[in-house]
Amino acid sequence: MTTVQGSVAPGDDPAKGARGRGAGDWAEEFAERGFLVLRGLFDRAETDALCAEFAAVREGGPVPGHFEPKPQRPGEPFDPLRAYPRVMHPHRFNALARSVLLDDRLRTVLERLLGEEALAAQSMFYFKPPGARGQALHQDNFYLRVEPGTCVAAWIACEPIDRENGGLEVVPGTHRMDVFCPEEADPGLSFAREYVPPPPGLEPVPVDMGPGDVLFFNGSLVHGSGPNRSPDRFRRSYICHYAGVSADRIGTYYRTLAMSGARVELAESTGAGPCGTEFDAPAPH
């Protein structure tokens, strides 16, 4: 299986390039494959700061509605995700999370990929400790329900991410397809219920990443990750979702912002929900 290589090497200035030479090539690559990796968009000090900030969030205890660890179930194997659940919409209560969501480097690239101004819709931080389950193959716009069009993710690696510690894989070509009706995932491998099998003739491709690399991908692109099989490595990442300014509707779970930070009200779309319906949550109707 081939691992995807990035479009920009470490040490380059992707934000500067996106404004000038090379930006058109990135937009063409994104349109052709449904995803784009920009290497070193953030530096190591910035990703270390994100990890430290969310370590402090965890140490500070629950943040109702955003970060809610759960006790282990008596008589069942230890579940790392009950101790280290993902942090949902941290930009709503944390200044650093908000600043990264609205970062000018992301805005510059998103405008090239979308062909218009971007609206910020969601942020999430994943700890993914050793032994944690992954998230089965899925499509983000199944949850956000951006209409018309789709969402775009900016998936920021906060440390080295590869096959062993549960890195992402993508299914090129699925970005041209509609949102699928998912099957139920294997709860031993995925914390989320939804699973979209790769369509015939298409296969998942691993995307290995280093700290500060950003994977941008189309909301219809099928993607996911396996369990973290590393004995001692986390797989921390910060994920942001965006829509184009021409979007009219989105799920009410999401509150869109202009990249200036101003609130932008969109009409409600139907069928939306949090990104990944957890097995611990009530089953969707």
**Per-residue pLDDT tens for 231-265?**
999 999 999 999 999 999 999 999 999 999 999 99
Whose tokens are 């199944």? That residue is 142
In a domain, 177, yes or no: yes
CATH number, residue 151: 2.60.120.620
In a domain, 130, yes or no: yes
Q: In the structure encoding, which two tokens stand for residue 29, read together? A: 């690559």
pLDDT at 272: 72
- pLDDT of residue 83 exceeding 70, the answer is yes
Enter the pTM of the model. Answer: 0.90
Q: How far apart (Å, rounded) are the C-alpha atoms in residues 22 and 240?
A: 24
Q: Is residue 139 a contact partner of residue 174, using CB atoms and an 8 Å limit? A: yes
Burial 31-66 (b: 16+ CB within 10 A, else e): eebbbbbbbbbbeeebbeebbebbeebbeeeebeeb
In a domain, 26, yes or no: no
* pLDDT tens string 129-185: 999 999 999 999 999 999 999 999 999 999 999 999 999 999 999 999 999 999 999
Q: Is residue 137 a contact partner of residue 223, using CB atoms and an 8 Å limit? A: yes
Cα dihedral across residues 55, 57, 61, 62: positive or negative: negative
In a domain, 146, yes or no: yes
- pLDDT of residue 116 exceeding 60, the answer is yes
Pick the residue with more confidence: 152 or 25? 152
Q: How far apart (Å, rounded) are the C-alpha atoms in residues 104 and 110?
A: 10
In a domain, 20, yes or no: no
Q: State percent of the chain over pLDDT 90.
A: 85
In a domain, 4, yes or no: no
Average pLDDT value for residue range 21-42 = 87
Pick the residue with more confidence: 12 or 192? 192
Pick the residue with more confidence: 283 or 68? 68
Please state, in angstroms and as integers, the Cα–Cα distance from residue 148 to each residue in 39, 108, 118, 231, 246, following that order. 30, 22, 14, 43, 8
- pLDDT of residue 10 exceeding 70, the answer is no
Count: domains in the chain: 1
What is the extent of the structural domain holding 141? Answer: 35-63+79-223+234-268
- pLDDT of residue 275 exceeding 80, the answer is no
Q: Using 50, 70 and 90 to split pLDDT, how confident is the model at 270? A: confident
In a domain, 6, yes or no: no
Cα dihedral across residues 251, 98, 134, 212: positive or negative: positive
Average pLDDT, the chain: 90
Cα dihedral across residues 38, 44, 48, 50: positive or negative: negative
Q: Using 50, 70 and 90 to split pLDDT, how confident is the model at 271? A: confident
Helix (H) or strand (E) run with residue 32 in it:
helix 23-33
In a domain, 200, yes or no: yes
Please state, in angstroms and as integers, the Cα–Cα distance from residue 38 to each residue in 174, 210, 212, 215, following that order. 20, 10, 9, 6
